[in-house]
Amino acid sequence: MPPLRDKFTIHSKAVVCQDVELKGDITIGSGTVIHPKATIFAIAGPIVIGTNCIVEEGAVIVNRRREVMRIGDDNLFEIGCRVECPSVGNCNTVGTRARVHHTLRMSHYCSVSAGCLVVPTEDDILDSYTVVYAGENGLCERRKWSGNGKMQETDLRRKHAEYLRDMLPKFNRLRRGEGA
């Protein structure tokens, strides 16, 4: 299969800094903020990022599968994380320097804590409200979250995105929705 042609569709209300590395067929939804030095590679199949997501500096999002990688709304990808999930639901957080393998699919309201490495040996799904954290033995463990405070979390994330949409353009050049 020939490599995908670079094609970027960036919503007019998205904020994508100029020095973001984009390769392949990528669609970025309204209100999404992508910090400088982030990397998004659609190697085998396209990547579709929903609305109001935040991709912080040094974060890497890669699609190695032929299927479309769908990232829902209101997700937060923190500094230096690496995500290769074929699907990410809504309102998820991937912590600083966390890594999520392409054999995992994330539902909604999941959280992968900083530094965790999630590499299932076969295809797996993180059910909604699952928290992955570093246990006492140094291995990543899972537990369920009750969902208490999810509206406060969502409101805080939206205010964070609003602040970034206001501040990043003041200090960074922005990229527009044309392919290279």
Could you report the per-residue pLDDT of 97-108, keeping only the tens digit for each? 999 999 999 999
Flag whether pLDDT at 121 surpasses 50: yes
- H or E element in which residue 41 lies: strand 39-42
Going by CATH, does the domain composed of 7-171 fall within 2.40.50.100? no
Handedness of CA 26, 50, 97, 106 (dihedral sign): negative
Q: Where are the domains of the chain?
A: 7-171
pLDDT of residue 2: 54
Residue 170, pLDDT score: 84
pLDDT at 179 over 50: no
Question: E strand or H helix at 169, and its extent?
Answer: helix 150-171
Tell me the torsion sign for CA atoms 78, 127, 32, 156: negative
Is pTM beyond 0.75? Reply is: yes
pLDDT of res. 177: 56
Percent of the chain with pLDDT over 90: 69
